[in-house]
Structure 1
Amino acid sequence: MTRLRAGGHTAVAVARTPREGIDHAVDATTAEVQTWLPLLTGCDGVVFAAGADDREVPARPAYSAFHAGNVVPVVTLLTAARQAGVTRAVVLGSYFTHFNREHPEWDLAGAHPYIRSRVAQAAEGRTAAGPGLPVAVVEVPFVFGRAGERFPAWAEGLVGWVSSKSPLLAPTGGTAVTTAETVADIAVDALEAASGADLPAADGNLTWAEMIGGLAAAAGSPRPVKVLPAAAFRLALRLTALRYRFSRKEPGLHPTRLADLLLRHLHLTATGTRPIDPAMVETVEAVREKR
């Protein structure tokens, strides 16, 4: 919102719960087309930045929950946007859709309900929007930084861990990382250009050990990160899968197949140039302020 307004745009903020800076309170998971129409009338563009998180563990079958959280709200919103005459849209998605597209042999959508929902979110959302409403999808990896009081959903548990005296362990492999500011830049640029493209976001790439160690340093608890052998990492995830099976729950990222994914280097070509360390400090500060 800040970036849009700084660029001279009028922006309307919608969120599930009312708070300072929110213009309308709407639950996107239950909203209907008629809910959105009066809010979208007169708008040129719309950004969807909500959705179900990959860490959620619903009852089996998990895909129904992720479809309800990630696909249905986007289809409903973009259907309303088309009817309201909106001319451009952006959906904040996941970088897993990039790897699903680039590496079909990994079968990510088939293996993981969360990733399947993100792939369907982009495809079904664009179908609902139609040819006259281009929909760009920002494919977001791990994000550091903050947007007002908001910070990444996974950050609270990770900041608590690296702030403690517990040993730090990480598998081999690594990930692309980005900042909240870079995601905002990409989203605003995509809106202004009505690009309709798939847009991976990254300010750089880190090994898992580098990411965890950097966050520990940002939390004021710097210490070595031990590399977890691949065999031990696979075993831990297999045990996690057994626990979920007995509880009749299913995670969005299937544990036994997740090891194959996370042991890879999930790298992206950098689209931003911002340093990650200051954004990690912002993340830690935001988590601690909430507490």
Structure 2
Amino acid sequence: MAEIGKFNFLRVVRQASQGLYLDGGAYGEILLPRRYAPPSVIPGSDVEVFIYSDSEDRLVATTETPHAVVGEFACLKVLGFNHRIGAFLDLGLSKDLLLPMSEQNGHVAPGDRIIVYLMLDERSDRLVASMKLNRHINRTKPLYQDGEAVDLLIADETPLGFNAIVENAHWGLLYHSDLNAALQPGQRMQGYVKTVRPDGKIDLRLDDTGYQRISPLTQKILDKLKESGGHLDLDDSSPPEAIRYAFGVSKKSFKQAIGALLREGRIRFEHGGVQLVDVD
């Protein structure tokens, strides 16, 4: 059976002047309007489509690609607002996505970009959005490993840093001290799990602190030392911002790298920085 608000592979049942009619299972035939029908698709073949309700609440198919599907978090632009119904968001389709008044948090206005969760209305099966993110965050204890690469959606800023939705499922936090620049809600990026706390909260970072990261970083530090005449005005007591500006990594990563170089006898601490011992 077709799934509303998601991509489906459906069989073409018949062709008509309006377009192609698809087998929607218990939903019956679903129209794929002619303007969205690929020329090569004919009755008997399968086509990948997104299913949603049109302005008259009839199920319709499209080959357009929405910005998100049911069960996903996304940052969408507010296109309009009706005080009786709610806000209308740009989903990337010919029909806008409704954010009902009951699902809003605070004031929204046209032009705003907001983080929402896509879901089906329980009574009507219509695709709608919700700003009440905590209702839809996975509350089971995360099983991520320290250092694991994860996809992030930046949600909002707190006094400690930036909240991010991890793998479309859990809350995580990027600390200000690990960042060299402010982030913007709605940004998508790859991050890394710093640690999963006993209470299930996830601390994140934007750089990989594992061996694969440290090895290239040690060479980068050596190259920088050679370029600067053998001395670098950075050490393990330098501000995190200065380290990230120079090397694009966190202070922890930098300390791990210079620790490795110290153990190898390649550098020593000197004059408030590090000094190259062996210039190749």
TM-score by length of 2: 0.23
Higher strand share: 2
Higher relative contact order (CA 8 A, sep 6+): 1
Q: Scaled by the length of structure 1, what TM-score is found?
A: 0.22
Structure possessing the higher radius of gyration over alpha carbons: 2
